[in-house]
């Protein structure tokens, strides 16, 4: 259980920029810096990630807002705001080489077959992406793999959009606490197979992972309902068994 030390938020006028020091853990395919914030040595309780898919920018906005509210000394769990910065800059789900980073992990079920996804607001899953020339072919995948191995998180939270659920095959107490705070349902999977996914890799490494799918809502509503929960997770002001800890 986290301690009861009082945490002061960064004053609102000073939240316009991210002032926390970062550490580079790799480079993207186009040479963009891959950076993490917070503790750099493991083991840590949680690792929080956003934007593995570059067109899910809401995940970065919400996680960044939570981090910018936390004073530097109060960051207990590390944060990666953009797993896929090239995709974010280009507005694509894939990285700059056309690879879906969430199908590029070295898992027993990785497949070289292309993966298909739907366009925003449409139903048909007919947009083709590569899973890579081989498993872990992409620099972003290899860099994150190394970061996870160095930080040794006891659990990982990966933010996505727009399915509106907490995907947790372990049905953990932490998932149910987040569900209670955000009104998102806990589900055992997202309803379709995900070969070569980060979640599959974590399961094979026996690292608990929660895929936090933000709902398709205006950013203002997402900030109001999800930032307070992420703030508690970043600062360690929670207890997976008992819920939030007063700080």
Q: Which single residue is written with the structure tokens 């008992």? A: 242
Sequence-ordered list of residues with C-beta below 8 angstroms from that of 53, at least 6 positions apart, any chain: 84, 87, 93, 100, 101, 102, 160
Q: Are 204 and 210 in contact (CB under 8 A)?
A: no
Given 122, 138, 213, 217, the catalytic residue: 213
Report the alpha-carbon distance of residue 69 to residue 67 in Å, rounded. Answer: 5
Cα distance from N-terminal residue to C-terminal residue, the chain: 12
What is the per-residue burial (b if ≥16 Cβ within 10 Å, else e) of 136-173? bebbbbebbbebbeebebebbbbbbbebebbbbbeebe
Cβ-in-10-Å burial (0-12, 13-18, 19+) of 18 comes to middle
> Beta-carbon neighbour count of residue 179 at 10 Å?
18
In Å, how far are 174, 177, 216, 229 from 191, measured between CA atoms?
21, 22, 17, 25
Q: Is 213 a catalytic residue?
A: yes
Contact predicate 2/20, CB 8 Å: no
**Positions marked catalytic:** 213
């Amino acid at each position: 259980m986290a301690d009861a030390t009082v945490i002061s938020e960064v004053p609102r006028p000073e939240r316009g920029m991210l002032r926390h020091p970062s550490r580079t853990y790799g480079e993207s395919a186009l040479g963009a810096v891959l950076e993490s914030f917070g503790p750099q040595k493991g083991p840590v309780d949680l690792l929080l990630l956003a934007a593995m898919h570059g067109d899910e920018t809401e995940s970065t906005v919400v996680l960044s807002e939570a981090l910018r509210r936390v004073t530097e000394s109060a960051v207990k769990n590390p944060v990666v705001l953009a797993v896929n910065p090239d995709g974010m800059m280009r507005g694509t789900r894939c990285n700059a080489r056309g690879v879906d980073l969430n199908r590029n992990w070295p898992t027993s079920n990785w497949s070289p077959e292309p993966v298909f996804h739907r366009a925003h607001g449409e139903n048909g899953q007919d947009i083709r992406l590569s899973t890579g020339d081989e498993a872990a072919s992409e620099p972003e995948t290899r860099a994150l793999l190394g970061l996870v191995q160095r930080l040794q998180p006891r659990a990982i939270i990966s933010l996505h959009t727009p399915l509106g659920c907490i995907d947790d095959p372990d049905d953990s107490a932490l998932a149910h606490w987040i569900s209670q705070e955000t009104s998102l349902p806990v589900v055992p999977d997202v309803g379709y197979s995900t070969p070569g996914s980060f979640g599959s890799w974590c399961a094979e490494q026996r690292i608990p992972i929660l895929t936090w799918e933000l709902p398709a809502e205006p950013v203002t509503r997402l900030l109001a309902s999800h930032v307070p929960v992420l703030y508690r997770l970043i600062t360690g002001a929670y207890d997976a068994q008992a819920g939030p800890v007063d700080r």
